[in-house]
Amino acid sequence: MRFPVSVICALLFAQSVPAFAALGAAAGPAPVNGAAQSDSARAKASAARVSSYNGYTVSETVQPSGTTVREYISPANIVFAVSWQGPDMPNLQELLGTYADQYVSAASAPHAVRRAVAIQSDQLVLHSGGHMRSFAGSAYVPSLLPQGVTPNDIR
């Protein structure tokens, strides 16, 4: 049985759509006209590279700025962690979802000379820092870590 080229192309495209889900939310394709897709940068991000590990999946996209964003997805299809590295900070409001308020509170607190942000609680663990053209960070929800996954697995 032969499939039309258009069907094959549609199936390949459907597999390469970036996940773009917020921390703690269900992973899925990027919304077409949704509010979470407010800026077009996500629409221009490269197709997700998906890797499967023992007990979780990592969806990695490269934003137009060159920043790499990784979403760690549990077998229950929930984003339990995110990480980023690159020349620009990603939109942490979108990436952290309902946990963004905790980040905003921590980031607005007085810090030492460097602008690193660290949150260590039973609800959220976040480390973010860097300087112009070199930012990196990660965040995870401890209660959502799949069995056998450790914080060291989040890079």
pLDDT the model gives residue 107 = 83
Parse the chain into domains and list their residue ranges.
5-146
Collect all residues with Cβ–Cβ distance below 8 Å to 120 and sequence separation of at least 6. none
**CA-to-CA dists, residue 150 to 55, 74, 88, 102, 138, angstroms:** 11, 13, 27, 22, 13
What's the pLDDT score for residue 44? 52
3-state helix, strand, coil in the chain (%, to 5): 25, 30, 45
pTM of the model: 0.75
Please give the single-letter amino acid code of residue 58: V
Q: Give the chain's radius of gyration (CA, Å).
A: 17
Structure tokens at 127: 């480390």
153: exposed, middle or buried (Cβ count in 10 Å: 0-12, 13-18, 19+): middle
Q: Which two structure tokens, joined as six digits, stand for 31?
A: 């919304």
Which pLDDT tens digit goes with each residue over 13-64?
333 334 468 999 999 754 443 344 444 445 556 678 999 998 899 999 999 9
**Mean pLDDT of the region 129-145:** 93
